[in-house]
């Protein structure tokens, strides 16, 4: 559930960002009833959200669904929501040109519009903490990503570059990650199918890479499940030089351990 503060902040932000005469200024409730259709047309102008509205819940507005697992999509959604330019792109994806809570989602550099109605969201049994995330989830169900890089590319509108972590050198891996972080480009990774012991990550799960310290070699990652993530610890590392569990799904892992636990890394310009 959203917090009361989050709901009120969203309501205020929507009211402030929409024209006074626009009937869409008060649409802050979650979708709850009808159908999704696809059409091809010019991009509509009626923005349903702004980057500031996306920032209210941010990555925490995304709910990972066990029923419909999509590692590539949800960690990429989080990556976009954590970046200023990413939030602008998310806001630009979603329009609401009518007065009947029918939203249109168009992914970047795509000509396909996904018409999302409340009933379609209800039929999918998908309801994120943030409405914008629910709408993206709904559109993605009509065009599911088949891989880590496809999920990222769908959201950025640019081809994603992928490397295999255990098939490259440590300096090359560090450069691949560090360059994306420096440029504020979204970067995500997929854990291995069979996680080795000691277990430090979930198996075959998507994670968002949020930071890299070249001095210490520590990579910072975020589990899409955030505060509901399982916590881990490396028993023989009391000073946290190799692994550090933090709060809200964040943790740090040393670049030397990274290829043992993660098999794919994908990044994309925005």
Q: What is the pLDDT of residues 244-268, one digit of tens each?
A: 999 999 999 999 999 999 999 999 9
74 and 45 in a common domain: yes
From 124, 147, 170, the end of a domain falls on 147
185 and 123 in a common domain: no
Looking at the 3D structure of the chain, how many domains does it have? 2
Where do the H-state alpha helices sit in 49-196? Answer: 51-57, 71-81, 84-93, 118-124, 131-142, 148-156, 170-183
If you average pLDDT over residues 46-53, what whole number do you get? 93
From 84, 117, 147, the end of a domain falls on 147
Note whether residue 70 is domain-resident.
yes
If you average pLDDT over residues 106-118, what whole number do you get? 94
If you average pLDDT over residues 187-200, what whole number do you get? 95
pLDDT exceeding 90 applies to what percent of the chain?
A: 69
166 and 143 in a common domain: no
If one compares 12 and 171, the residue with the highest pLDDT of the two is 171
From 125, 147, 169, the end of a domain falls on 147
**Per-residue model confidence (pLDDT) at position 143:** 81
> pTM for this structure?
0.82
**Per-residue model confidence (pLDDT) at position 125:** 80
If one compares 32 and 94, the residue with the highest pLDDT of the two is 94
**For residue 115, what is the enclosing H or E element?**
strand 112-116
If one compares 40 and 140, the residue with the highest pLDDT of the two is 140
Read off the pLDDT band of 50 (50, 70, 90): very high
Could you tell me the residue range of the domain that residue 14 belongs to? 4-147
Note whether residue 50 is domain-resident.
yes
Note whether residue 156 is domain-resident.
no
Alpha-carbon gap, residue 16 to 115, rounded angstroms: 25
CATH number at residue 166: 3.90.70.10
What letter does residue 160 receive in the DSSP assignment?
P
Alpha-carbon gap, residue 85 to 91, rounded angstroms: 10
**Per-residue model confidence (pLDDT) at position 29:** 39
179 and 61 in a common domain: no
Note whether residue 63 is domain-resident.
yes
């Amino acid at each position: 559930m959203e917090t009361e503060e989050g709901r009120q902040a969203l309501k205020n932000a929507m009211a402030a960002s929409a024209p006074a005469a626009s009937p869409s200024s008060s649409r802050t409730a979650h979708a709850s009833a009808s159908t999704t259709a696809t059409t091809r047309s010019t991009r509509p102008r009626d923005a349903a959200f702004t980057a500031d509205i996306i920032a209210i819940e941010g990555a925490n507005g995304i709910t990972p669904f066990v029923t419909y697992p999509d590692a590539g999509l949800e960690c990429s959604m989080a990556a976009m929501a954590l970046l200023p330019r990413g939030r602008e792109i998310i806001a630009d994806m979603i329009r609401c040109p009518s007065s009947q809570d029918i939203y249109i989602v168009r992914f970047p550099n795509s000509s396909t519009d996904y018409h999302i109605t409340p009933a379609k969201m209800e039929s999918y049994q998908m309801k994120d903490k943030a409405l914008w995330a629910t709408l993206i989830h709904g559109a993605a169900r009509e065009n599911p990503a088949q891989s880590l890089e496809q999920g990222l590319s769908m959201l950025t509108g640019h081809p994603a570059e992928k490397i295999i972590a255990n098939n490259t050198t440590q300096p090359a891996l560090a450069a691949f990650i560090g360059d994306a972080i420096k440029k504020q480009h979204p970067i995500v990774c997929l854990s291995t199918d069979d996680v080795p012991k000691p277990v430090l990550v979930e198996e075959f799960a998507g994670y968002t890479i949020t930071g890299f310290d070249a001095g210490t070699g520590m990579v910072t990652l975020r589990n899409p499940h955030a505060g509901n993530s399982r916590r881990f610890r490396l028993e023989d590392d009391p000073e946290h030089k190799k692994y550090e569990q933090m709060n809200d799904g964040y943790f740090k892992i040393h670049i030397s351990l990274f290829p043992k636990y993660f098999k794919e890394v994908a990044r994309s310009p925005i």
